[in-house]
């Protein structure tokens, strides 16, 4: 094989030199090159550059003269009528040993040597990377002429030499000549013009120049791997040149962004720029937004998806959402524990300045439309019992024993309608949200914080407006009498469930009211069971994350048994309130969100062989039917064992509870309810969809942080686990008792539902939602 490389200082004399070739010949006659040319070398007292400049002046003069002659003579032939098209496009058949270029994929072309046919339509080729593969003839983009038996080992050197010839300015000079002559050109003809040779290397170099050209030439005709090119009109070239310059500037700016990302990635955490700094440059901010959208599968346009994909590709990363997430974490834009589900949900995390301002003005308004009707209950001892990190306190309890031995309890509920009315701007925002969002990392209130945690909330030792439900119980726990009214209370204690349980255990004489509340709760629990209530107590897990933006934030895990005395007390009083409000609404024909849950098909005795608590609850919950809401009349709630139920005790946290308040408060004022049953149903349909989204987010967030908690624990630590049910063979659904978390694992042979086994955490990957447990043999 003979392949002639272009010598550094060689100039070629074509048989019939056109304008550019004539200039090269003229230059060559004035300057004979021997050996390598050194920058600034002198030729007969003249520098290389001065000789080149004089030649170029003569070239431009010749071009001007030629242009005048062409203009005067005109052009009577088309670009493709110079020769027979078929002759110029004659393809060379593919044979063994030929050097060819083929399209590997949408982004890559490779050089390869043809080896042998592969069937009727394919060829086996060995490319520049040493890979042998089968390609279709349609993939061949060019067959290098003048080569019969190319050595695959020489491909890389050949490609490098071709790249050395990539001077786009050569195309410009050829374009000027061909445009003036109104001539088209093949690859080999262009090689003759600009290199003075049609040898393999020069021909392939000309092919590369044309294949990468976006300005001067256009394809006029193609047949197989051969094409005829024509010069574009001057006006079009000017336009394309401007576009190319703009594109190159954009590409340069894009590369600077890529370099910035790479630089920031390599920085230590404390040296990374703040998140806000990415918004300083509009183009960079647009790219960051594209990456964020790509990370959460929420691209709004193909342009966003394309931008993110280009960034990931340039950084050598896979075009996946997980790659985008990792990149955003690596540059410090995302914290390590970014809540992707929160971003995907679109749940608002802040209130607008307008809403906050309106809320502040409401707090300054001291008027109270229900002031004259409020009963003064400030002499009652009032207990507010909730989780220790609760910020929105919207219910509290009081109790006493009447002279006849019956128990009277008061359920005091915060009165947000003191500040908001249906249709107001603050109400509409609360409706849009539907519920407060409680996550391990933060709370996003339905109302602005200054309202939700300030004026609306029940505050210890302060006068607070409330709606109070007073209930007198029969000795069997059923409701003897009830009333609903506006009130003013002064909460005495703000207790956590733990502290309330401790007070109950101590049985202090001075906290007799708390003991009465506990007695009332027991009466109610027994009565509801007699009415068919289904016991569903289990473990309730919460986790609090401190400084969630840190790579290793502090975690505090809470595992509470719903059978705990204080939790049972509050649970029973909330159900009692819901039953009383449902009765109140039914007797006064008030449209309300009445919740029912028919469970006539559940035979609880069939589950009596299972241990009470989480194991039995897990089995029962799996066969329970979903709750239903009727807005006209109460429906029996079979699980709770009561004739009707309305959620009423969380109007600061749940919008459906607030709707119930609007309806009841209007009745207490002697006004018609603001919403019909049909209107309530329409609002509830939207609200419930939002609530489902929030519930899903809360569950996934809690699961993430429990997995993170388990990931940090010592590998040798073992956990007690209850077998809830068997999934397949010896694989069982387990409840990790110390964590209150359900997972699955192999259990020892012979294990039964309800048994306790020991397991260890083999792997925990919060981001991928993966937990591997391994059984541990008991000693």
Mean pLDDT of 44-63: 46
Question: What is the spatial distance between Cα 160 and Cα 166, in angstroms, rounded to a whole number?
Answer: 10
Q: What percent of the chain has pLDDT over 70?
A: 88
pLDDT tier at 35, thresholds 50, 70, 90 = very low
Looking up tokens 């915060």 gives 414
Question: What is the spatial distance between Cα 19 and Cα 440, in angstroms, rounded to a whole number?
Answer: 77
Question: How much is the pLDDT for 681?
Answer: 97
Residue closest to 648 by CA, chosen among 389, 415, 418: 415
Reduced to 3 states (helix: H, G, I; strand: E, B; else coil), residue 293 is: helix
Q: Report DSSP letters for 748-760, one per residue.
A: -TT--TT-EEEEE
Mean pLDDT of 153-175: 93
Question: How much is the pLDDT for 191?
Answer: 95
Mean pLDDT of 13-33: 39
Residue closest to 296 by CA, chosen among 337, 254, 365, 346: 346
- The predicted model scores a pTM of 0.78
Reduced to 3 states (helix: H, G, I; strand: E, B; else coil), residue 731 is: strand
pLDDT tier at 431, thresholds 50, 70, 90 = very high
Question: What is the spatial distance between Cα 778 and Cα 756, in angstroms, rounded to a whole number?
Answer: 10
Beta strands at 407-414 and 437-438: parallel, antiparallel or unpaired: unpaired
Question: What is the spatial distance between Cα 196 and Cα 187, in angstroms, rounded to a whole number?
Answer: 13
Residue closest to 264 by CA, chosen among 288, 283, 248, 282: 288
pLDDT tier at 749, thresholds 50, 70, 90 = confident
Residue 20 predicted with pLDDT over 60: no
Residue 571 predicted with pLDDT over 50: yes
Q: Supply the mean pLDDT for the chain.
A: 88
* Residues 636-682 pLDDT 10s: 999 999 999 999 999 999 999 999 999 999 999 999 999 999 999 99
Reduced to 3 states (helix: H, G, I; strand: E, B; else coil), residue 582 is: helix
Radius of gyration of the chain (CA): 41
CB-based contact 539:653 (threshold 8 Å): no
- Residue of 286 and 623 predicted with greater confidence: 286
* Residues 355-403 pLDDT 10s: 999 999 999 998 899 999 999 999 999 999 998 777 789 999 999 999 9
* Residues 73-110 pLDDT 10s: 334 345 664 456 677 777 778 899 999 999 998 878 99
* Residues 326-344 pLDDT 10s: 999 999 999 999 999 999 9
Looking up tokens 């310059």 gives 245
Neighbours of 613 (CB within 10 A): 19
Residue 579 predicted with pLDDT over 80: yes
The CA distances from residue 236 to 174, 462, 482, 531, 710, in Å, are 16, 80, 88, 87, 65
Collect all residues with Cβ–Cβ distance below 8 Å to 118 and sequence separation of at least 6.
Answer: 124, 134
Question: How much is the pLDDT for 15?
Answer: 35
């Amino acid at each position: 094989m003979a392949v002639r490389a272009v010598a550094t200082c060689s100039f070629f004399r074509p048989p019939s030199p056109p304008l550019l070739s004539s200039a090269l010949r003229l230059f060559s006659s004035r300057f004979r090159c021997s050996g390598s040319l050194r920058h600034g070398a002198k030729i007969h007292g003249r520098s290389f550059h001065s000789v080149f400049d004089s030649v170029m002046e003569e070239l431009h003069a010749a071009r001007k003269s030629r242009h005048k002659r062409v203009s005067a003579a005109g052009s009577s032939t088309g670009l493709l009528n110079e020769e027979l098209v078929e002759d110029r496009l004659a393809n060379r058949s593919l044979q063994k040993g030929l050097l060819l270029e083929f399209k590997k994929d949408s982004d890559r072309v490779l050089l390869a040597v043809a080896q042998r046919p592969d069937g009727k339509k394919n060829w086996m080729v060995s490319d520049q990377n040493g890979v042998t593969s089968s390609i279709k003839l349609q993939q061949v983009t060019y067959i290098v002429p003048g080569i019969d038996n190319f050595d695959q080992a020489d491909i890389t050197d050949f490609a490098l030499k071709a790249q050395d010839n990539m001077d786009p300015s050569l195309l410009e000079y050829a374009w000027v000549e061909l445009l003036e002559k109104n001539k088209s050109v093949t690859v080999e003809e262009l090689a003759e013009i600009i290199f003075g040779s049609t040898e393999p290397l020069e021909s392939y170099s000309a092919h590369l120049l044309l294949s990468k050209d976006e300005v001067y030439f256009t394809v006029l005709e193609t047949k197989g791997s051969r094409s005829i090119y024509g010069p574009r009109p001057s006006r079009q070239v000017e336009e394309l040149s401007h576009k190319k310059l703009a594109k190159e500037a954009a590409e340069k700016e894009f590369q600077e962004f890529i370099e910035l990302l790479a630089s920031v990635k390599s920085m230590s955490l404390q040296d990374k720029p703040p998140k806000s700094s990415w918004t300083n440059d509009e183009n960079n901010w647009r790219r960051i937004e594209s990456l964020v959208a790509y990370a959460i599968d929420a691209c709004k346009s193909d342009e966003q998806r394309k931008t993110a994909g280009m960034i990931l590709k340039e950084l050598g990363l896979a075009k996946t959402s997980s790659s985008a997430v990792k990149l955003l974490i690596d540059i410090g834009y995302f914290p390590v524990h970014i809540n992707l589900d929160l971003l995907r949900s679109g749940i608002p995390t802040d209130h607008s300045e307008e809403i906050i301002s309106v809320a502040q003005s409401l707090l300054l308004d001291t008027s109270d439309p229900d002031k004259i009707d409020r009963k003064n209950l400030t002499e009652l001892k009032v207990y507010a019992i909730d989780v220790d990190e609760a910020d929105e306190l919207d219910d509290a309890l009081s109790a006493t024993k009447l002279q006849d031995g019956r128990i009277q309890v008061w359920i005091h509920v915060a009165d947000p309608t003191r500040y908001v009315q249906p249709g107001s701007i603050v109400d509409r925002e609360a409706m849009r949200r539907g519920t407060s969002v409680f996550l391990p990392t933060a709370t996003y209130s339905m109302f602005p914080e200054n309202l939700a945690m300030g004026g609306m909330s029940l505050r210890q030792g302060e006068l607070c407006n409330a709606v109070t439900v007073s209930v007198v119980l029969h000795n069997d726990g059923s409701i003897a009498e009830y009333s609903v009214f506006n009130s003013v209370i002064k909460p005495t204690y703000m207790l956590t469930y733990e502290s309330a349980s401790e007070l109950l255990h101590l049985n202090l004489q001075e906290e007799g009211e708390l003991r009465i509340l506990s007695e009332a709760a027991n009466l109610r629990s027994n009565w509801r069971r007699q009415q068919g209530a289904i016991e569903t107590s289990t473990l309730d897990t919460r986790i609090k994350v401190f400084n969630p933006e840190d790579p290793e934030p502090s975690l505090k895990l809470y595992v509470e048994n719903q059978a705990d005395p204080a939790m049972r007390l509050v649970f029973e009083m909330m159900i009692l309130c819901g039953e009383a409000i449902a009765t109140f609404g039914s007797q006064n024909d008030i449209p309300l969100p009445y919740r029912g849950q028919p469970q006539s098909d559940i035979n609880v005795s069939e589950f009596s062989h299972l241990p009470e608590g989480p194991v039995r609850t897990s089995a029962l919950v799996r066969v329970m039917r979903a709750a239903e809401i009727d807005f006209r009349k109460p429906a029996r709630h079979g699980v709770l064992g009561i004739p009707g139920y309305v959620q009423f005790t969380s109007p600061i946290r749940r919008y459906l509870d607030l709707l119930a308040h609007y309806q009841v408060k209007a009745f207490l004022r002697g006004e018609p309810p603001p919403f019909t049953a049909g209107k309530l149903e329409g609002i509830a349909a939207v609200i419930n969809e939002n609530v489902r989204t929030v519930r899903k987010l809360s569950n996934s967030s809690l699961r993430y942080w429990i997995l993170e908690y388990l990931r940090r624990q010592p590998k040798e630590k073992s956990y007690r686990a209850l077998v809830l049910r068997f999934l397949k063979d010896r694989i069982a659904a387990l409840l990790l008792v110390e964590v209150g978390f359900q997972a699955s694992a192999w259990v020892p042979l012979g294990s039964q539902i309800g048994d306790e086994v020991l397991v260890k955490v083999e792997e925990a990957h919060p981001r991928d939602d993966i937990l591997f447990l391994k059984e541990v043999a008991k000693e």
